[in-house]
Amino acid sequence: MKQVQLLFKKTLSRIGQGSWYLDSAADSAQAIRAVQTGLDAGLTHIDTAEMYGDGMAETLLGEALLGRRDEAFLVSKVLPSNARYDTTIAACEQSLRRLQTDYLDSYLLHWRGQVPLEETVEAMEMLQQSGKIRSWGVSNFDVDDLIELHAITGDGKIACNQVLYHLEERTIEHELIDWCVAHDITVVAYSPFGHAQFPLESSAEGQLLRDIAQQYDASARQVALAFLCRSKNVVAIPKASTMRHVLDNAGALDLHLSQDDIARIAAAFPLQPHPGYLPMI
């Protein structure tokens, strides 16, 4: 697995750090140290959103990144309820204040709401021109939404699409990943451990992950991340609030699975028929 890939001429780590519920950690000093440990270990892609803890996750990340802002590829998201032109700009400025920075590496529409896409795109372009964001993208956009958005923007504008992707939820493999490859859009896998439903060690699937992990002196979570990031334009953002977990996840940066291992994992967690919508949480 390559450690980094290009997104709008800036590199981001293939494995990053999520921050949903990071502000709920029992020990916030420990959560801050975990993020910093992740940065040290190369997990430089850091994901947050104004929604997380009502801004508290951004505030915590602002503390974690003090003096180290430029080491990170920092991403935040605007809620669809704030996606009008003026409110997108205001929401971005509030995120910047909480994050104690003057720019975001990418800013995403969290999911599609009622606001016409043209209006949000106009705000994103203005934020980009003013240097407050370096790129922009979307989240939870299915292929039909992307086609509509792409008809407005053309090529080279949409940096990424952040979508649900884990071993037991592989819907994006039907069509979305290929569509994004064709349009040079990075796919960001959120909830790569299923949020809180990673296969139990005692299950047959959990045992398979452990067996494969043992061959590489790796962990089952590292194997899962390596599997999810096997396509060249897919990166993943596991959330971890403890140093042990962060370091474990960083170990996936250097893990390359064989084609045989990939086939065994794909068979153990089979691609289900397309449900007819894009699953999200």
Ligand X SMILES: NC(=O)c1ccc[n+]([C@@H]2O[C@H](COP(=O)([O-])OP(=O)(O)OC[C@H]3O[C@@H](n4cnc5c(N)ncnc54)[C@H](OP(=O)(O)O)[C@@H]3O)[C@@H](O)[C@H]2O)c1
Identify whether the C-beta of residue 137 lies closer than 8 Å to the C-beta of residue 163.
Answer: no
CB of 188 to ligand X, least distance (A): 8
Residues 42-71 that bind ligand X (CB under 6 A): 47
User: What gap in Å lies between CA 131 and CA 281, rounded to an integer?
Assistant: 31
**Which residue matches tokens 């104690």?**
100
What φ, ψ does residue 118 adopt, rounded to 5°? -55, -40
What single letter denotes the amino acid at residue 234? V
User: What gap in Å lies between CA 198 and CA 194, rounded to an integer?
Assistant: 6
Q: Which is nearer to ligand X, 155 or 168 (CB)?
A: 168
Q: How many residues bind ligand X (CB under 6 A)?
A: 27
Q: Which is nearer to ligand X, 271 or 281 (CB)?
A: 281
**Looking at 136, 193, 227, 269, which residue binds ligand X (CB under 6 A)?**
193
Q: Which is nearer to ligand X, 110 or 183 (CB)?
A: 110
Q: Which of 243, 259, 178 is nearest to 41 (CA)?
A: 243
Known catalytic membership, residue 165: no
Q: What angle (nearest 5°) sits at the alpha carbon of residue 194, between those of residues 242 and 94?
A: 65
User: What gap in Å lies between CA 106 and CA 230, rounded to an integer?
Assistant: 23
Residues 124-143 that bind ligand X (CB under 6 A): 139-140
Part in contact with ligand X (CB under 6 A); list of ranges 63-71, 114-122, 176-184, 244-252? 244-252
CB of 52 to ligand X, least distance (A): 7
CB of 186 to ligand X, least distance (A): 14
Q: Does 19 bind ligand X (CB under 6 A)?
A: yes
- For residue 211 the two structure tokens come to 């067996």
- For residue 205 the two structure tokens come to 């699937």
Annotated catalytic residues are 52
Residues that bind ligand X (CB under 6 A): 18-20, 47, 110, 139-140, 162, 190-196, 221, 237-242, 245, 248-249, 280-281
